[in-house]
Structure 1
Amino acid sequence: MLTLYTFGSYLGMPDPSPFVLKVDAYLRLANIEFAVKPALTNSRRAPKGKLPFIKDNNKTVADSQFILEYLESYYDVQLDAHLTDEQKATAYLITKSLDENLYFILVYSRWYCEKTWPQVKQAFFGKFPFPIKQILPNVARKGVLKTLHNQGISRHSRNEIEHITARSFQALADLIGEKPFIFGDKPCSLDATVYAFLAEFILAELDNSFNSLAKQHQGLVKYCQRFQQTYYRD
């Protein structure tokens, strides 16, 4: 059976990573049977040092984009068969926008913001034994903050980052509207990605200004709730 390697359930989510949740949601959309192997330490075993990765028929695939392409090919998934070439191109570019922009805003909102950090710290490290839980969180956070600086998002002011975030959510709200799925009445692979990112802001058990910006859009809230109720009933 296909096995998905994840961080595990944190912050009220099946996984705190939108990339892991993206693959999880895709597998559910495609009705592919799979097992989950959760552990914070899975990243040490990952081929690229990041999660998710999968093992399937003695084959290991890392990176959410390559995993989805593998699943589409190997399992002959037809989620995007009804899309036009223009829609497929749009889906790819939206995916890259979420992966390369909104993701770092999500990380900033959890690891950089002083209001949210204590809750994140407790969720991820609270069960570690002393003195690890006193040392490891600060080491991990220091590494994340360095990544955010190198990537560039934390070089902006808080107001500028919230402005970028608000525009992203507004764009998604305009795109989805009142439709059940991104491109109409049928789901596609992009829905797995959009749900994964929105859910980490809207459904996660965190309270900060970035999550509030997402929740201002009732269309986005309803989209997440519909998806969750349909594909995460277990």
Structure 2
Amino acid sequence: MNQPIGGGSALAPPPPRSPRSSASGRNKMAAPVEFFCWAGGWGLPSVDPPCLAVLAYARFTGAPLKVHKVSSPWRSPSGTLPALKTPDEGVLSDPQQIITYLRKQRFNADYDLSARQGADTLAFVSLLQEKLLPVLIHTFWVDAKNYVELTRKWYAEAIPFPLNFFLPGRMQKQQLERLQTVCGENCLENEEELEKELYREARECLTLLSQRLGQQKFFFGDSPASLDAVVFSHLAPLLKAKLPNAKIQQHLKSLPNLCNYCTSILSLYFPWDEGDPPPPVPKSASSDGSESEEEPHKRRNQVLSVLVGLLAMVGYALLTGIVSVQKQGPGTGGRRAIALDEEEEEEEEE
């Protein structure tokens, strides 16, 4: 949920026809490229919609990705999630740019679509951005009960100390700004009215998606397209998360074809992925003495964690009075010294 896929530009029309995953496409991308995404939870391979969209698109097309499921954006080469580390275009962080890159490598989920279906893709992606994305932000990041008991709780438990103290709050602030961009700067002044409007439009959007899908396996027949990756990334978290306040989730569950759609994609394309972070693996050096590939930025993260931890402890000590800064008299030449309150220090140690 770092940057919902609806936040960027709409999916571009399908490029000139090329095999969905042809031999030439596979040769062009012989070695898997590295993809960094949020770890899984709630029965999903990733809890973050943009990450989920890219994972689904890659599975639909068979694009070879070396996936790193991480619990902090600082473990990404770009400092954000998702991130695709490419050999020729650097690091891509926007979900649409990543999908476009995979298309250029001839992993094109929209190869078989007609011009009319391509237009429908653009229309439905725009609909999701305008009607469903805002309610997802509100449900997970604005609704106080959901945020405290589900969203913040998951990220605080997943993100390593001491980053878990401030990253969830910073992410929430980013999502609030995103919602204001979509709905207007003053939209949060009357949250009750905002919630009523968002949920009304989201219910209409879900009902329209249900009618469009009908009894089909995917939105354009028996094979998944890029639209399916985007729709799945929006619906699956809403369906699978154990939301304390589940208003919009209840409406989604009243549409059985959309529920079966999400369940089918999970079972077909992520059958071995339980959606939970993998158990910790013992750290060991490789034969050449380099660090594990699963932690390409381990040393940087350790240094940053130590620095943040030290700053947090010093700040806490100053705020609570354990450490105070005093100015000495003229006899010391105006030098500043740190005085420790020994009694308070002993109490802290007990």
- Matched residues, percent identical? 25
- Pick from 194, 197, 204: which aligns with 2:241? 204
Please give the alpha-carbon distance, in whole angstroms, between the structure 2 residues aligned to 1:61 and 1:194: 22
Report the secondary structure of 2:96's partner residue: helix
Deviates more, 1:16-25 or 1:185-194: 185-194
Please give the alpha-carbon distance, in whole angstroms, between the structure 1 residues aligned to 2:73 and 2:169: 20
Q: Does 1:125 align with 2:156?
A: yes
Structure-to-structure mapping, 1:13-24, within 5 angstroms: 13-24=44-55
Report the secondary structure of 1:195's partner residue: helix
Q: Does 1:193 align with 2:193?
A: no
Q: Does 1:77 align with 2:107?
A: yes
Please give the alpha-carbon distance, in whole angstroms, between the structure 2 residues aligned to 1:211 and 1:217: 10
Determine the structure 2 residue equivalent to 1:104.
134
Determine the structure 1 residue equivalent to 2:279.
none
Please give the alpha-carbon distance, in whole angstroms, between the structure 2 residues aligned to 1:178 and 1:187: 14
Determine the structure 1 residue equivalent to 2:56.
25
Determine the structure 1 residue equivalent to 2:207.
170
Determine the structure 2 residue equivalent to 1:157.
194
**Structure 2 unaligned residues grouped into runs of 5+:** 1-31, 273-350
CA, structure 1 residues 27+128, in 2 after alignment: closer, same or farther (shift >3 Å)?
closer
Determine the structure 1 residue equivalent to 2:143.
113
Deviation at 1:186, TM superposition (A): 2.1
TM-score, normalised on structure 1? 0.87
Deviation at 1:113, TM superposition (A): 0.8
Aligned letter for 2:56? Answer: A
Report the secondary structure of 1:115's partner residue: helix
Determine the structure 2 residue equivalent to 1:183.
220
Determine the structure 2 residue equivalent to 1:66.
97
Report the secondary structure of 2:145's partner residue: coil
More helix by share: 1
Deviation at 1:194, TM superposition (A): 1.2
Deviates more, 1:33-42 or 1:219-228: 33-42
**Structure 1 unaligned residues grouped into runs of 5+:** none
Deviation at 1:130, TM superposition (A): 7.3
Deviation at 1:232, TM superposition (A): 0.7
- RMSD over aligned Cα, in angstroms? 2.5
CA, structure 1 residues 227+211, in 2 after alignment: closer, same or farther (shift >3 Å)?
same
Please give the alpha-carbon distance, in whole angstroms, between the structure 2 residues aligned to 1:131 and 1:69: 36
Relative contact order, higher structure (CA 8 A, sep 6+): 1
Report the secondary structure of 1:186's partner residue: coil
Determine the structure 2 residue equivalent to 1:11.
42
Contact 1:11-1:206 at 8 Å conserved across structures: no
Larger Rg: 2
Deviation at 1:204, TM superposition (A): 2.6
1:80-138 CA distance string (max 9 Å, x none): 22211010111122123324542232111011112211221111113567776555544
Determine the structure 2 residue equivalent to 1:145.
176
Deviation at 1:218, TM superposition (A): 0.4
1:133-180 CA distance string (max 9 Å, x none): 555544543443343234327545322111011011011001101100
Please give the alpha-carbon distance, in whole angstroms, between the structure 2 residues aligned to 1:7 and 1:167: 30
Report the secondary structure of 1:4's partner residue: strand
Please give the alpha-carbon distance, in whole angstroms, between the structure 1 residues aligned to 2:61 and 2:258: 22
- Pick from 259, 269, 273: which aligns with 1:231? 269
Please give the alpha-carbon distance, in whole angstroms, between the structure 2 residues aligned to 1:46 and 1:151: 29
Contact 2:62-2:107 at 8 Å conserved across structures: no
Please give the alpha-carbon distance, in whole angstroms, between the structure 1 residues aligned to 2:169 and 2:51: 24
Aligned letter for 2:204? Answer: R
Report the secondary structure of 2:109's partner residue: coil
Deviates more, 1:177-186 or 1:91-100: 91-100
